[in-house]
């Protein structure tokens, strides 16, 4: 089985927003829409022990994607490599997928009247390149690959971090595959999933 996804090391992320900018530029994402949005988490704690980190919020490439289940036309679908895609020719703009998706990582394009989302730069993958957000990350905080392949960059990053430092966004049965590395005792987002909208 193949499951392409992202692993993002929040200890390395500097909050430079290069991934957000590269995503918008590469995918021609209109103003007011985001496929990838960097959220500032914190500061948390009590002075002088105050911490802050940055959380890139993207499609979580869920194994049981509710956005796929509720789509009445089949426009939202799971590809053979596990990625969640949208066929814009089939999308009727009903926004049911946006309502069902727990992380707010889908956007409605007012001009084309369809829902759009991160495709992990599927067009770049097709020519052997990594997603734009991974390529431009100056902190080397983003990894892309097949999480089911132990030799992939994502699997190696997860293994190196150790299970106690690898997190997912809150799982309501959708089984997100995107992993976040954070070497802290508690990840504050665990009880409050980020909203991009």
pLDDT value at residue 194: 54
> Residue 19 pLDDT more than 50?
yes
DSSP three-state, residue 77: strand
- Pick from 157, 162, 168: which is nearest to 194 by CA? 168
Give residue-wise pLDDT tens across range 80-112: 999 999 999 999 999 999 999 999 899 999 999
- Across 25-164, the runs of DSSP E, i.e. the strands, are 37-46, 49-57, 76-78, 84-86, 106-109, 114-117, 142-146
Residue 119's alpha-carbon distances to 38, 78, 124, 154, 188, in angstroms, are 17, 11, 10, 17, 27
Give residue-wise pLDDT tens across range 104-118: 899 999 999 999 999
């Amino acid at each position: 089985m193949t499951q392409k996804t992202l692993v993002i090391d929040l200890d390395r992320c500097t909050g430079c927003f290069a991934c957000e900018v590269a995503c918008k530029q590469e995918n021609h994402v209109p103003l007011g829409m985001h496929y990838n949005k960097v959220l500032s988490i914190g500061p948390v704690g009590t002075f002088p022990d105050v911490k802050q980190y940055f959380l890139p919020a993207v499609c979580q490439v869920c194994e049981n994607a509710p956005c796929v289940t509720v789509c009445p036309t089949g426009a939202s679908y799971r590809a053979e490599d596990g990625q969640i895609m949208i066929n814009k020719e089939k999308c009727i703009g009903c926004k049911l997928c946006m309502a069902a998706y727990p992380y707010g990582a889908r956007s409605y394009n007012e001009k084309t009247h369809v829902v759009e989302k991160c495709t992990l730069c599927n067009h770049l993958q097709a020519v052997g390149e990594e997603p734009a957000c991974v390529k431009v990350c100056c902190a080397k905080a983003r990894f892309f690959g097949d999480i089911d392949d132990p030799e992939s960059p994502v699997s190696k990053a997860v293994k190196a971090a150790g299970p106690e430092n690898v997190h997912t966004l809150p799982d309501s049965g959708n089984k997100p595959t995107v992993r976040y590395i954070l070497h802290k005792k508690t990840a504050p987002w665990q009880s409050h999933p980020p909203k991009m909208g």
